[in-house]
Chains A and B, each alone.
Chain A
């Protein structure tokens, strides 16, 4: 702001479009409810009173069309993988993905004929949260990491 500070009328601040839009985006991340297995219960616990995702502006949406974050919480099986991908493709840009738990990260203990060894085989993943299931604190760590990442993104291209 430095030099042009005194040349503008009162109450006018200067900033970049990027930081304003990113600031708004990071404060209203709307994830699509996509509980697959055990981790979804911890995801629900995060949304309940004790941990309270609402204070971070996170409101679960039931449809991918209104969401910008996908929380893959649980085991992705071969039967489920096409559905995961379809839901991901239905989300509008910009979109991010957090893989929650060992199963979504790498298949976890389920190295079997029916399990996809990590959801990153079907969709791109931004953050991985370890644990089986991860504690809500780990979950929040991923959310804050995502917020930091959102702040570095460029909204206006070219």
Chain B
């Protein structure tokens, strides 16, 4: 006779080659029947040694490495790193550069959230959203290409400002995009928000209470979806975020559906910031600081003055020296608090660079979120976590 009451825990392996782990995440899952007993993420399949590499690079040379951490929003990473280095010097950033930074960072947030909604829906089985979301993402990437020459990893935000000014075409395209974008978000929401299958797959799945989010140190939408009203752009302002008016979306439920709503709302709020930035941005002006400690001397000076030539040569070939000390700067990246901790020994390169990657910390709560759910829900839970292995493994 078969005894149906016997429960046996078996261990299954999910990943690293699995279409819904968003990269090379490996999950060791203990299941009892179909119910998850324990999930253990195994990370490190994309460990590229970025932090070690940064110790052998000058401060400028680290910027391209930061692009490839959270590769869904490279410009947010640039911004966080540059702000951290600028803290050493207390550099004054020109007005126009500040606005360009905000514009680029918010565009990166929209692009990142679009990939998130596309892949998250695709994992759960809604393919249409993927096609629509990538349509808008392509538009953003086209704008990046017009402005910076690269679709994704442009390294455009530099220490002391941005690399160069944007052409007129960039602003024309962005204005048209901003006008249309709210209607596009409506399209995604029409497909998902009241969709019965979507609701069944997300409501009540991966619950995280407000206390849990704080205990695990999660940040970003994972935190705001559980009713914690916290956003670094407002609570620890950096750049010129205090000049814009926008709301911070908060949902109380703490499940996958709540986090979906938070991110959809964030798309609209980012659009609002873009709109205001486009209105407020000064028509002309410098985009790179003239602070001689970090900025390259201008070409006109280099052609005429020996000192400028030497300084330019020195910064390009050897780098500039940062004063002894340490800095930390966190920004509200699309996935949560992205922080760069830099230790300087007074040399041209950082003595140590530690990256506080939001996805890595958020992944810590995965076990708590997944326990007791079905194995099929794990796909939704990994998706709602919005992990990017580039910044988890670094």
Q: Between A and B, how many residue pairs show CB distances below 8 Å?
A: 96
Q: Which B residues contact A (CB, under 8 angstroms)? A: 16-19, 23-24, 44-50, 52-53, 64-65, 68, 71-72, 115, 118-119, 130-132, 134-135, 137-138, 141, 151-153, 389-390, 393
* B45–A80 CB distance below 8 A: yes
Q: Encode A28-46 as 1/0 by CB contact (under 8 A) with B.
A: 0000111111101110110
Q: Encode A112-134 as 1/0 by CB contact (under 8 A) with B.
A: 11110000000000000000110
Tally of chain A residues near chain B (CB < 8 A): 34
* A38–B71 CB distance below 8 A: yes
* B135–A48 CB distance below 8 A: yes
Nearest-neighbor residue (CB-CB) of B26 within chain A: A83
Q: If A45-B141, A77-B48, A80-B24 touch, does A38 touch B152 (CB 8 Å cutoff)?
A: yes
Q: Which A residues contact B (CB, under 8 angstroms)? A: 32-38, 40-42, 44-45, 48-50, 60, 62, 64, 74-75, 77, 79-80, 83, 87, 109-110, 112-115, 132-133, 135
Measured in the bound complex, the distance between the Cα atoms of B20 and A62 in whole Å is 9
Known: A112-B52, A133-B151. 7 other contacts (CB 8 A): A32-B17, A34-B17, A36-B46, A48-B135, A48-B138, A75-B48, A79-B47
Q: List 17 A-B contacts (CB under 8 A).
A: A32-B17, A33-B19, A37-B71, A38-B68, A44-B119, A45-B134, A45-B141, A62-B18, A64-B17, A77-B44, A77-B393, A83-B17, A110-B48, A112-B49, A113-B49, A133-B152, A135-B151
Nearest-neighbor residue (CB-CB) of A39 within chain B: B71
Measured in the bound complex, the distance between the Cα atoms of B120 and A96 in whole Å is 30
* B134–A110 CB distance below 8 A: no
List residues of chain A with CB within 8 A of the CB of B50. 110
Q: If A37-B68, A41-B115, A112-B53 touch, does A75 touch B46 (CB 8 Å cutoff)?
A: yes
Measured in the bound complex, the distance between the Cα atoms of B161 and A6 in whole Å is 76
**Looking at the complex, which one of A37, A45, A62, A80 makes contact with B16 (CB distance below 8 Å)?**
A80
Chain B nearest Cβ from A80, distance in angstroms: 5
* B135–A49 CB distance below 8 A: yes
* B46–A45 CB distance below 8 A: no
Q: If A36-B24, A79-B47, A112-B49 touch, does A45 touch B153 (CB 8 Å cutoff)?
A: no
* A110–B115 CB distance below 8 A: no
* B45–A62 CB distance below 8 A: no
List residues of chain A with CB within 8 A of the CB of B118. 44, 48
List residues of chain B with CB within 8 A of the CB of A37. 23, 46, 68, 71, 389-390
